[in-house]
Chain A
Amino acid sequence: MSTPTLTETPQQAEQPATIYEKSVPGRRAAQLPPLGDGVAEIPLEELIPANLLREKPAGLPEVSEPEIIRHYNRLSRRNFDLDTGFYPLGSCTMKYNPRLNERVAALPGHAKLHPATDPADAQGALQLMYLLQESLAEITGLPTVSLQPSAGSQGELAGLLLTRAYHADQGRNPGKVLTPDTAHGTNPASVTMAGYEVVKVATNEKGGVDVADLKSKIDDDVACLMLTNPNTLGVFDENIAEMAGLVHEAGGLLYYDGANLNAIMGQARPGDMGFDIVHVNLHKSFSQPHGGGGPGAGPIAVSERVEPFIPRPQVVRMEEGDDVFFDLDFDRPKSIGRLRGFQGNFGVFVRSLAYILSLGGDGLTEASRLAVLNANYLKKRLSDGRAGRYLPVAFDRHCMHEFVLSGAPMKKDLGIKTLDLAKRLLDFGFHPPTVYFPLLVDEALMIEPVETEAKEHLDAFADAIEKILEEAETDPGIAQNAPYTTPVRRLDEVGATRNPRIRHA
């Protein structure tokens, strides 16, 4: 697709109705089992006082089963997905989701196991969690792992509450958390929710933390330094050991945002870099499907000194003679407590352990190496031709698993913005990269190609960018008005915010 489609596609012509608009009084799908012999059809008011009962049925749709299937299948075709096309969304690690993992997660022994099952009757599940804890401990280089946090941001909050508990245990109450200006948005949001003040640290000319600026901001009121390494510019911060020393000397802890772990598995470990707390996004490096925005899981790995404070319960392995027993340990007096119900997103643990077992230590190492190779190859491809001219790399050096381009020259010389380029990419069958992040790069495009993408897809992506820039040289309007082929074209987001319509009326 190189020229805009100006005639409306059949999908565009179809006005998308909600499930409620398809409702016809009297239609239904569910057939429930009979009450059962001996169960009386007692009027509800005899069981529950009438004033506590619902007067009118909830306004749920009335639809038949075939209509539900058709509605959601048609909706599904209005999504762009990873299985269909390249999805180089920076910092999101859109790697292939192995179907074996779905199969094992769906086994009744996993999927139909109640979370309050007595540990003696859930030994397989607890052993699975224990194996994942041990694997993540080895990968991160830290001795103890709690699987409880539901996603990366909850892992961050957990880490900050651990930081607070650690300091309180020493009779201290420092109030500041340092984060680089390149940090993911969740970092400062989590800091505030943990009751800390965010202090921003500047970035140096090589894309790493400006150590002089860091030094000037370190004092005994610093609770923690939160870092992503490699950072959101795709750059490994080589001063990490020095920074760890500085923060530790001042009594602070180091927190590692594991969103970018896919760059370094088997090559370097956050624990060896001096980090005390690490969260791992199982939906990034460990292949849990993203599901259109979840579910994920954000286990945390911690150093020995932080271990007493981890959330409870913790899965533990007990040995008595020849007998091995896995249990949930609630007896953790210094624990920060729970972050959520039960034991965490177990279904995600099944998938991620399946992935780790499939790849093994050697395969995980290879995955990171190939992710970095793919990123550097694509970066190289995009440094040639028009992309090199209009979309320079923000920090020109070898990158890790992702890299950031600036669309500033493109905007200035061609009159098209990063957003326009992103929208035009949709017409070429590519999901756009992460745009306008990190914030310190003007018109940023953050590209993460991952190891499961074949070279021909990287080449095709680079070719598409070249083509879009070429057409913009003659007619910038093409990109400015893109996309043309998607189910809807550019949407009025400002209007949606000004006059919110968030449910079917």
Chain B
Amino acid sequence: MAGYTPATGDEQAEMLDAIGIDSIDELFAQVPADIRLNRPLDLEDGMSESEVYRFLAGLADTNLDAERIPSFLGAGMYDHYVPAIVDAIIGRSEFLTPYTPYQPEGSQGGLQVMFDFQTAMSEITGLPVSNAGLYEGPSAAASAAYLAMGQTGRTGLVTSRGLHPHSRETLATHAVGFGATLTEVGLDGGLTSGEELEAAVTEDTAAVFLQNPNFLGAVEDITALGEAVKAKGALLVVQVDPMTLGILRPPGECGADIAYGEGQPLGNRLDFGGPSFGFFCAKEEYLRKMPGRIAGETTDVDGRRGFVLTLQTREQHIRREKATSNICTAQALNSLAGMIHLAWLGKEGFVELGELMARRTAYARRLIGGLDGFELLHDAPVVREFAVRSDRPVEELLPLGDESDGPAPKLPVYPLGRDYPEYEDCFLVAITENRSVDEIGWLAHMLEHAQAGWGEHIHDHDEAGEPVANDHDGAVTGAVK
């Protein structure tokens, strides 16, 4: 048992003696007998460090992670390359182990990281105000709704069907508590329908939620859609993929009142969905209504530059039931990882990565959209993710093999059917700088095989475009490590 507890028997006796009691049990006498657990917890006994490691490494080994198969999964979280310096910095005790910086004189490092981060998020979103981070993407949508309702005194929330399904469902969950009503606007050719949007926004609309690029990967014309929103005095709220902002017009330049999003692509591991961070940026006028922590610059008694948590009267520990948010512990370490990644990419690299994704994605989209039995779901512009329609049902398409000898690993693409019954025959393909041309070729190859049926013999094409005979088994097992 590794209890990480230093107190020896002798020391415990000494401490009991100082307190003036005979046993620790006396301290628990204040817990009434009838609600005591008078038996040991029904859990295994503690294990040695090496045993715990082996057990959990064994579980990890059964997962088909992005190092074992080229992953084309996206839907908000992406397999980007996280530079080594991120691990080196966030692993330092000084960042890993403190609490929220309530004592600024002893927390200048963490506070300045927040300040660096706020600046970076303001720069990439084109909005002047940023907080130090929220939990993650979809719950940041709920924070935006709360702000918009407080600001406008209205209760209507309008969402595009192109908004991430997790964000829409999270908004629906919170709407019950907020007393909000939700209206959804459909898609047309992969893009939010301007007509439907105009009809849906009314004098009761607090905010309109769009996503860019939207869930189907399509780049929306936020400025044009925003006109109908502004006309009715509602807030324009845009969920953005931060990694596309190197090349896409930032929400702040498209008239957005609030931009938020999932921060995972910036410096954070996939981690099966978390922890990552959410970001939340807004126009100046919402500064005092922002959710979450905000670091501000100030000076100490001797005139030195320093940083503090500021505008704390917004927050739960001061304002209690009148707070702008209930958030306390958020995702400081994850925001730091995001900041380091952004600094590493830098002004030029951030643009280059966007360009690289757009070009490789264009390549992959043309390749896969041209395969027999597949077509593009829409032809709207995309940056890093696109939607494909398949002749064969998607669930039949995914197993990498005919499954006659048991379940085969699944092709890592995102089936749209659960979230969009109308796109039951469609899936999403996501591209990052980690997905090489060879891997894109492998994906196309697997899709071709799957479409034809695993028993069928199909022809591959060699470099000169000539068909060559192919045996699929080697290709499948070759890619899955």
Given contacts A97-B97, A357-B46, contact A340 B166 (CB under 8 A): yes
Q: Are A138 and B41 in contact (CB under 8 A)?
A: yes
The contact string, 1 if C-beta is below 8 Å from chain A, for chain B 239-253, is 000000111111000
Please, which residues of chain A bring their CB within 8 A of the CB of B59?
Answer: 109, 124-125, 127-128
B348 contacts A62, C-beta separation under 8 Å: yes
* Option from A190, A348, A357 in Cβ contact (under 8 Å) with B52: A357
CB distance from A217 to the nearest CB of B (A): 16
Residues in B253-286 with C-beta less than 8 Å from chain A: 262, 269-275, 277
Shortest CB-to-CB span from A20 to chain B, Å, is: 6
Contacts of B436 in A (CB 8 A): 33, 36
At the interface, yes or no: B377 with Cβ under 8 Å from chain A?
Answer: no
Within the complex, the shortest CB–CB distance from B186 to chain A, in Å, comes to 21
Provided the pairs A30-B345, A44-B247, A360-B47 are in contact, do residues A454 and B6 lie with their beta carbons within 8 angstroms? yes
CB of A293 within 8 A of CB of B65, answer no
Produce 1/0 per residue, A253-295, CB < 8 A to B.
Answer: 0000000000011111100110000000101000001111111
| Bound complex: CA A464 to CA B311 (Å) | 32
Stretch at the interface among A75-83, A405-413, A468-476: A75-83
Contacts of A28 in B (CB 8 A): 346, 348-349
Q: How far is the CB of B204 from chain A (nearest CB, A)?
A: 18
The yes or no answer to B461 lying at the interface (CB within 8 A) is: no
Is B296's CB under 8 angstroms from A501's CB? yes
| Binary flags per residue of A95-116, CB closer than 8 Å to B gives 1, else 0 | 1111010111111111111111
Point out the residue from A29, A361, A363, A491 that lies within 8 Å of B346, measured CB to CB: A29
Tell yes or no: B458 within 8 A of A by CB.
Answer: no
Give A198 to B129 CA distance when docked, in angstroms.
31
- In the complex the two chains form, is A341's CB within 8 Å of B170's CB? yes
Interface residues of B in 178-219 (CB under 8 A from A): 178-179, 219
Whether A488 pairs with B248 at a CB distance below 8 angstroms is no
Q: Which of B292-347 contact A (CB under 8 A)?
A: 293-302, 304-308, 310-313, 315-323, 325-334, 336, 339-340, 342-347
Q: Are B37 and A503 in contact (CB under 8 A)?
A: no
Closest chain A residue, CB of each to CB of B116: A19
Q: Are B96 and A97 in contact (CB under 8 A)?
A: yes
Decide if B5 is an interface residue (CB 8 Å cutoff).
Answer: yes
A103 to B50, CA, bound (A): 11
Q: Verify B300–A489 contact, CB threshold 8 A.
A: yes
Q: How many residues of B contact A (CB 8 A)?
A: 209
**Of listed A107, A235, A266, A437, residue having the most chain B CB within 10 A:** A107
Q: Which residues of A contact B172 (CB under 8 A)?
A: 337
User: Among A15, A98, A500, which residue has the most Cβ atoms of chain B within 10 A?
Assistant: A500
Write the nearest CB–CB distance from B77 to chain A, whole angstroms: 6
Is there a chain A Cβ closer than 8 Å to B53's Cβ?
yes
A376 CA to B100 CA, complexed, in Å: 26
Let me know if B49 and A100 touch, CB within 8 A. yes
Asked whether B471 is an interface residue with its Cβ less than 8 Å from the other chain, the reply is no
Q: Are B31 and A39 in contact (CB under 8 A)?
A: no
B476 within 8 A of A: no
Bound complex: CA A94 to CA B97 (Å): 8
Can you list, as one digit per residue, whether each of B72-106 has a CB less than 8 Å from chain A (1) or not (0)?
01011101000101011101111111111111111
Min Cβ gap A40→B in Å is 7
Contact A164 B326 (CB under 8 A): no
Knowing A138-B42, A138-B43, A273-B35 touch, does A502 contact B270 (C-beta < 8 A)?
Answer: no
Complex contact A290–B98 (CB within 8 A): yes
CB contact list, B105-151 vs A, under 8 A? 105-110, 112-113, 115-116, 118-120, 122-124, 126, 128-130, 132-133, 135-139, 146
Additional 4 contacts, C-beta under 8 A, given A366-B3, A426-B105:
A83-B96, A118-B410, A341-B274, A362-B45
Give 18 CB contacts A-B under 8 Å: A29-B346, A47-B358, A80-B106, A94-B99, A161-B173, A186-B317, A236-B31, A266-B37, A291-B95, A292-B100, A336-B173, A359-B46, A373-B7, A426-B106, A455-B11, A492-B300, A493-B310, A502-B287
